[in-house]
Structure 1
Amino acid sequence: MTADSNPALFRTEAADGASPEGPVVKTGLPGEVHREHGPRARNTRAYLQYVAGKIGGAVVSLFAVLVTSFFLFRLIPGDPVKQMTGGRPVSAEQLAAMREEFGLDDPVWKQFVDYVGNVLTGDFGTSYQFHAPVMDKITDALPATLLLTGTAYILYTIIGIWLGTRTAWRNGGLGDRLHTGLALTLYSVPSFWLGLLLIIGFSVGVGPIPGMFPTGGMESGDKEGFGYVIDVAHHMILPVITLVAVGYAQTLLVMRSSLLDEMGSDYLTTARAKGLRDDLVRRRHAVPNAMLPTVTLMFVNLGTVVAGAILVETVFSWPGLGGLFYQALSVPDLPLVQGLFFVFAAAVIVMNTVADVIYPLLDPRVGR
């Protein structure tokens, strides 16, 4: 039997898109079906290989952070055991017993092996100054950090994207020059310095003008119910303004630069030639394509939400992870410093990895 005598039997069905494994090809034998691996299957394999590579790189980075956090903070001058005594007279026998209790008399290699083994089980050790598990201290301080930095993150992301879009679309105008100049200025300002200025101007007061906001802390301690919520919000205003002022500037500049790169593209000219309004061209065509670098920045900044803002929290005496890290450094409280450093770095690494994994889904040119 030939193909000419029964062309239907040897027909090739171009089921393009009907199967994720590729088009189906029927041969002359009943029930025998072969599947070809088409572009979709190849793209899926390439994407999975890309994801596996990114995850592997993240694991290597986490281990490097683990090594760095152990050895780096042992270079800090000072004896943590003596710091724990608070200056009280302590005998040499008592100091030796404390060093033995915390394993400080063991060789460095043994301390490192024990540290890695404990971290793999979620145990970062016991804080020297608080005499409590490190993870408990981190868990207690995390909600305050998420409240402060999470609120600031949402605000400066929305403001930065909106203003970046507006300034780029009106490139060269008065608003563009004012907003870009202000963003460049705030982006270069140290956050702790800006926080101190806000405290002087709005907490302490200038001249006859009294201060309107607390100088620090998270609450007054004498409020309950809805009054407590208002009290916490009152304490948040200045640190949130500080974080938003620095954070929105970076988002604005990235969004503005990305949109300017898109504005000369042919597809925007085509959209305008079809009679679309300028507002629709911006919202439906230009902004979605310009958002790709900004999405990466958003995920990177999302990692810093967990890491907190060490300097800002310290300036405003905010009881979060940043303030806890500053307290741990002053001792030095090695287990607490190491645990916080690892958590900070892990949050950034994980968010960077998530951004790398999602980016090819937004831009098919990446990871193929």
Structure 2
Amino acid sequence: MHVIKRLLTAAGTLIFVLLFNFFLFRAVGDPKQDLARNPRLTKAAQDAIIEQRGLDQSQWVQFKHYVTDTLSGDLGRSFVTNRTVTDELMDALPDTLLIVGTATILASLIGPWIGLQAAWKRGRTRDTLLTQSAVVLYAIPVFWLGMLLIAAFAEALPLFPTGHATEPGSTATGLARAIDVAEHAVLPVTTLTLGLLAQYSVNMRSSVIATMQEDYVLTARAIGLAPCTIRRRHILRNALLPVITVIGLNLGFVLGGAITVEALFSWPGLGTLTMQAIQGKDYPLLQGLFLLSSAMVILMNLTTDLLYRRLDPRIRD
């Protein structure tokens, strides 16, 4: 029953986003007026484009077409490139998934481990160094952290490229192309990883400290279990639950919010595509990006909630 309720809630939220999406971008601008300001278009060309895109129809008619087309998988065509929005999104999504997915995996492994080490030595030098370093990283804006990495490892020490997914003009294929992409991905992945692992380590430290005060941990110590056994069987598994929630929720937001990192490194993903759509006032593409980002957040929320119930039987009861 709970699963059905969560699915219905997620579906209802997505429907609300679908409806809100239509009116949001029409509240901030009028596509017909934007076309009229384009000096490269004649009046006849403007009228032809307006008619072709259905902008001469009433808002209600446009809204009905928008809902029916979206539900059928048609997100419209870009005002700038005239390509379908779906094609634009599918071209940019793999590049975003590459850096975000890699950064999430690295941060999910390193961050909790750092938090565990700090909590296990609570109040000692290791805890102070690890925790203060994580707090500093957490407080640094992502774009500034990326600029520091560029200054250090692309300018002072020219070890990695500063932007793009491949070397401009490169025709490499196969392994050579994979190596080229990997070199260009190092700095953006590192930027995202450092920003995420700081949050995960702080959350893990707090969760471990709270778990160490639980009665079952105190009992395990009283009966003489080895510290490594207590850490692995009784502390780590239970302390990870809140961190898993944070990771799952963050993944949806990071996928939709990597704009600054991608813009900084000229990485051709959803973030760069969003910047281009904003600059070009490409309303269909902005609608598609907003809908995709919202769907990702909703999906990650749903997945995290169901996974949490699976990992913690107390919630099911």
TM-score category of the 2 structures, normalised to the smaller one: over 0.9
Match of 2:305 among 344, 356, 366: 356
AA partner of residue 188 (structure 2): P
2:26 match:
74
The equivalences for 1:26-175 within 5 A come to 49-77=1-29, 79=31, 82=34, 87-175=38-126
Alpha-carbon distance change, 308 to 148 in structure 1, aligned in 2, over 3 angstroms = farther
Q: How does 1:190-339 map to 2 (within 5 A)?
A: 190-203=141-154, 205=155, 209=156, 211-220=158-167, 221-304=170-253, 306-307=255-256, 309-339=258-288
Matched, 1:343 2:282: no
Most deviating of 357-366 and 242-251? 357-366
SS of equivalent to 1:319: coil
- d(CA) in 1 for partners of 2:59, 2:144: 39
Higher percent of residues as helix: 2
Q: Is the 8 A contact 2:96 2:255 kept in 1?
A: yes
Q: After superposing the two structures, state which structure 1 stretch, 172-181 or 131-140, moved more.
A: 172-181
Seen in structure 2, the aligned counterparts of structure 1 residues 231 and 201 have a Cα distance that, compared at 3 Å, is same
Distance 1:210 1:303, change over 3 A: closer
CA distance in 2, matches of 1:337, 1:80: 16
| Aligned-pair CA distance for 1:160 | 0.7
Contact kept, 8 Å, 2:36 with 2:46, in 1: the verdict is no
Q: Quick one: distance in 1 between partners of 2:122 and 2:222? A: 21
Asked if the contact 1:81/1:99 (under 8 Å) is kept, the reply is no
Tell me which residue corresponds to 1:181: 132
Which one-letter code corresponds to 1:340 in the other structure?
L
2:2 maps to amino acid: Y
Contact 1:180 1:253 in 2 (8 A): yes
| TM-score normalised to structure 2 length | 0.93
Q: 311-320 or 194-203: which moved more?
A: 194-203
Q: Distance in 2 between matches of 1:97 and 1:295?
A: 52
Instruction: Give the match for residue 366 of structure 1.
Output: 315
CA distance in 1, matches of 2:40, 2:93: 35
Deviations 1:293-321 (A, max 9, x none): 11212222332454361110111111111
Deviations 1:170-209 (A, max 9, x none): 1111121122112122222221122122223332x2xxx4
- Partner of 2:161, secondary structure, is coil
Partner of 1:14: none
Q: Superposed, which structure 2 residues align to 1:14-33 within 5 Å?
A: none
Q: How big is each residue's C-alpha offset from its partner over 1:15-42, in whole Å with a ceiling of 9 and x where there is no partner? A: xxxxxxxxxxxxxxxxxxxxxxxxxxxx
- Distance change (3 Å), C-alpha of 1:80 and 1:366: farther
219-228 or 178-187, larger mean C-alpha shift: 219-228
**Percentage identity across aligned positions?**
43
Post-superposition Cα deviations, 1:95-129, rounded to whole Å, max 9, x if no partner, equal 11111111122222221221111111111111111
> Does structure 2 conserve the Cα–Cα contact (< 8 Å) formed by 1:80 and 1:331?
no
Range moving further from structure 2, 267-276 or 139-148: 267-276
- Distance in 2 between residues matched to 1:161 and 1:128, nearest whole Å: 44
Question: 1:365 deviation in Å?
Answer: 2.7
- State the AA in 2 paired with 1:75: A
Query: How far has the Cα of 1:80 moved from its partner?
Result: 6.8
Q: Distance in 2 between matches of 1:172 and 1:83?
A: 63
Relative to structure 1, the CA distance from residue 78 to residue 176 in structure 2 (aligned partners, 3 Å threshold; closer, same or farther) is farther
Greater RCO, 1 or 2 (C-alpha within 8 Å, sep 6+): 2
Amino acid at match of 2:206: S
Task: Kindly provide the amino acid, as one letter, of the partner of residue 164 in structure 2.
Answer: G
Give the SS at the match of 2:172.
Answer: coil
CA distance in 1, matches of 2:124, 2:26: 53
Specify every segment of 5 or more residues in structure 1 that has no aligned partner in the other structure, as ranges: 1-48
| Structure 2: runs of 5 or more not aligned | none
RMSD: 2.0
